[in-house]
Amino acid sequence: MKALVFSRKPARFAAAMVAGALRPGRGARVGPLDLRDIDPPEAPTGADGWVRVRPRLSGICGSDLATIDGKASRYFEPIVSFPFVPGHEVVGELDDGRRVALVPVLTCATRGIDPPCHMCRGDRINHCERIAYGHLEPGLQSGFCESTGGGWSVAMMAHESQLVAVPDDLSDEAAVLIEPMACAVHAARMVTDSEVAVIGSGALGLLTIAALRQLDNPVGPLIATAKHPEQRRWAKELGADVVCQPDELERQVRSAMSSFMLDNGQLTCGIDTVVDCVGSEDSLAQALRCVSPGGDVLAVGMPGVTTLDLTPLWHRETSLRGCYAYERDDFDRAIDLIRDLDLGRLVSATYPLSRYEDAIAHAATAGARGAVKIAFDLRDERERNHL
């Protein structure tokens, strides 16, 4: 079957790093990602509850792009298994025709580990303590695990615990956003303070803004940074009170919080919570400059290896907290929000697998090109219906 496969090829990985540094998304051309014919994945031997999912749409996420451009941290090495088929933002259909969205996090249930770990028992599936063990090859999620396959293919395997039924009134475009929206809901639920700044208005940033605004306990003034005009428009529409350029954030927060500003740009007061949906060295440093003493920086965008001056964190008793994935009930809220806000509109373009280089280049420069979410469209793949 047709699939995009990411292999462990150090030379090509190095080439992707160079190419990706020169032009975002260029790692797809020279790196270890290839469109290939592979054997369809199969359920782990003797395991129950596995079904075949034929992806309909599969999104391209920031973590996918980081992997393709060689920017992902080596931290992931023990918790992914090669070769893998990327794609974890998936809406697909089962053999009986039912549409499902994928919860890609791989848990004790999917790994055949019984009894499940403490975290899985408590439904905190994103913190599974057996992440590289059990009858699956290592993989923190489907889309990074050799055993399961991924959404950038015409078929993958999923455990029934990973499936969320897609309501009939939700289009595929809307449903492909369920997984990233669940991430955003999870992030928004971690915000307890009233004043929030969101760094970055890519897809994850925009969904986080929407989630923050729509949560039952709404936040106060919400300041967002957005680099590009279309991002600014979306950020406003989805609920940001103030949208500014990335380099204007310190002054915006200073102004809103009546803070003083030191010569190095560090605010003396600051905003209660900064949600960093970029995850770069610059964005994290900016978050530390803008957050109030005793405030929270929430790292929602996936950071890599970063050099960061943590003196302000120490001096101002700031908490820097990661925010990965979701818990299962975040999906229910995500579906409601997507429906209520008609967020299917955020899917800006879809590509067939054969044009994966164009798709990845588009996703890597989405903001500049006025796009938000780019996805692969598998619905017309000829092979898909002959499996």
Binding site for another protein (CB under 8 A): 242, 244-245, 248, 251-252, 254-255, 258-261
Cβ nearer to another protein, comparing 262 with 387: 262
Least Å distance, CB 248 to another protein, is 5
Cβ nearer to another protein, comparing 268 with 385: 268
- How far apart CA 81 and CA 201 sit, in angstroms, is 31
Cβ nearer to another protein, comparing 201 with 350: 201
Biggest distance spanned by C-alpha atoms of the chain: 65
Least Å distance, CB 267 to another protein, is 10
Least Å distance, CB 259 to another protein, is 7
Report which of 200, 179, 192, 233 is spatially closest to residue 55, judged by C-alpha positions: 179
Instruction: Judge whether 53 and 158 are in contact, CB under 8 Å.
Output: yes
- How far apart CA 224 and CA 209 sit, in angstroms, is 8
Least Å distance, CB 362 to another protein, is 25
**CB-side exposure of 249: number of CA atoms within 13 Å?**
30
Exposed e or buried b per residue across 21-49, where buried means at least 16 C-beta atoms within 10 angstroms of its C-beta: eeebbbbbbbbbbbeeeeeebebbeebee
Cβ nearer to another protein, comparing 167 with 370: 370
Amino acid at 164: V
Exposed e or buried b per residue across 173-202, where buried means at least 16 C-beta atoms within 10 angstroms of its C-beta: bbbbbbbbbbbbbbbbbebeeebbbbbbbb
Cβ nearer to another protein, comparing 243 with 274: 243
Cβ nearer to another protein, comparing 245 with 385: 245
Least Å distance, CB 239 to another protein, is 16
Instruction: Judge whether 321 and 190 are in contact, CB under 8 Å.
Output: yes
Least Å distance, CB 266 to another protein, is 13
Per the listing, tokens 């400059």 go with 289
Cβ nearer to another protein, comparing 264 with 307: 264
Phi, psi (rounded to 5 degrees) for 133 = -130, 180
- How far apart CA 271 and CA 311 sit, in angstroms, is 18
Least Å distance, CB 289 to another protein, is 15
